[in-house]
Every structure is written in structure tokens, then in C-alpha cells.
Amino acid sequence: MNPFKMSRSYILMEKLDGHILSNKKEILFGGENEEIQIDKESRELLCVGNSSKSNVKMQITTKNQCDKYTIHTEPKIVNLMSGYACEFEIFLTPLCTMNLNDEVVIIFLDLNNSIEQTTHVKISAQVEKSTKLDYDEIKEDKKLGEGSFGIVFKGSYRGNVVAIKKMKQSNDTDKLIKEFEGEVCMIIVWPFKLFIYIRLKTIYIRHFVLKKFVISKQRPQFWEINCCLNYYLFSDYLCFHLNLLLNF
């Protein structure tokens, strides 16, 4: 990106801190009521200017490492003369479903006296719903049980009561995580005609079973025969095509 003289530009710049100017005080990815896609890069622009009388070196970075998203900018570092500004491209890739509210840091180094100055700019985004959840939104309550694979806890997620299953400590944790991710991916992209749609639901988890919600009045015999036939076709597909079994 080529630096431009602010006095000749139509872009309105505001003071952030010291001699650092910007056209935004917050970077919003995806708009006010739009969700951005998970594991997909989103792009926003930010203009940063130099109002000091010295030449400066400027860069945008993160406060600390975060495992919920990745972010990088272009250009990485830019030299600005007095009265000039530069347009930065900021690329954000969310790694889980979340309401992002964080900050990036603008580092401003005066090349004449080597004095460094920093300021912060907020970044925010609403990320689409997915099977990859923000672990800070999952609240544990109490332990419910334990099996060979992991421990089950009662908890909550965005106001819903949920069961949380944690893997036990293992020397081969990376392998277990890959197996679990593979199972989730298989459910999401299941290519079978008897599945209309699969969606992860949390609203009924606290009831454990849905039998008591099913209407108990007599159903016609053809309905039961049709269900049995569909179950047979489905089981045949699982066993002979995917080498899997149904779990109830």
C-alpha cells in the first residue's frame, strides 16, 4: 500500500493517541448484523496516519497470542513521513463460534529520537454457529459420570443446560482429538438420502431422552412398517458402506 498525504485526501482522520491518527476507532468485521464465516478469512481496511514532525515506523499487531482466531496485516511494517498515512489490510480468520471483542495494537516508533508509542483499536465480529464452540462460553457445573473415554459434566452454554464431555489425559491426546474431529465432520457432511438435515441441538439435552415428549396415541400400522423399512435401509447403509453402527 502506498502512503498518501492526509491534507490531500478525502479520508477523515481522528486522533487516537499522541501523534497517531486513524479513520476508525473500532474495526467491525462483517457489518453490524452480519455473521462472518468460521475458518474463512475476512478482510477490513484501516488507515493510520502520522501527525508528528518526524518520520516514523508503524506496524499493527495483536496484544497476545489467541487460539480462537488468527489475524495478520498487510503491509507488516511501513515508514511514514510527517503528515502521511497508510492503508492497512487486516485479515481475520475465526477458528470457533464466538462473539469477538478484542483489540489490536498500533506501534509507532519515532525514527529521530527512538521513542516508541502504542495505542489500541477495538476489533469485533459475530461468528456463525458451528460445531466449534468458544470454550469460555461453556460453563461447568458438576460431574455427572465417568467412562473409559472421558468425564461427563453438567454445564451451560448460552443459557442452555448441556452435558460436557471431557477427554481424559492421555499420552496420545493428538490422536484422540483427530478422531473426535473426524466424527464431527462425518456427521456434518453425511451423504445419505434418509437424512433430511442434521443440526446440533442443546435445548433438549437436560431431559436426556425425548420419549416423554412423543405423542402416545395409536399410530396406523403402515407408519410403523415404513419406519422399520427405513431403519433397515439406514442400518444397511451404515454397516455395509461405512462400517458403522447406530447408537441409541
Residue-range definition of the domain harbouring residue 213: 135-217
Q: Do residues 109 and 213 both lie within one domain? A: no
Going through 82-215 in order, the beta strands assigned E by DSSP cover 84-94, 99-110, 116-127, 138-146, 150-157, 160-167
Q: In the predicted model, is pLDDT for residue 105 greater than 90?
A: yes
Least confident of 170-174, 197-201, 221-225: 197-201
Choose among 126, 153, 127, 123: nearest CA to 138. 153
Do 95 and 131 form a contact (C-beta atoms < 8 A)? Answer: no
Q: Do residues 99 and 206 both lie within one domain? A: no
Q: Do residues 108 and 24 both lie within one domain? A: yes
Tell me, yes or no, whether 51 lies in a domain: yes
Q: Can you tell me the mean pLDDT for 82-109? A: 94
End-to-end Cα distance, the chain:
58
Domain harbouring 144, CATH code: 3.30.200.20
For the stretch 29-55, pLDDT in tens is: 987 788 999 999 999 999 999 999 999
Q: What is the mean pLDDT of the chain?
A: 80
Q: In the predicted model, is pLDDT for residue 236 greater than 70?
A: no
Indicate the annotated binding residues for ATP. 166
The last residue of one of the domains, among 72, 102, 127, is 127
Indicate the annotated binding residues. 166
Q: Do residues 14 and 122 both lie within one domain? A: yes
Of the ranges 52-66, 97-111, 149-163, 174-188, the best mean pLDDT one: 97-111
Tell me, yes or no, whether 241 lies in a domain: no
Q: In the predicted model, is pLDDT for residue 184 greater than 70?
A: no
Positive/negative CA dihedral, 171, 177, 178, 183: positive
Q: In the predicted model, is pLDDT for residue 217 greater than 70?
A: no
* pTM score above 0.75: no
C-alpha to C-alpha distances, 155 to 169, 195, 200, 210, nearest whole angstrom: 20, 29, 16, 19
Q: Can you tell me the mean pLDDT for 189-208? A: 51
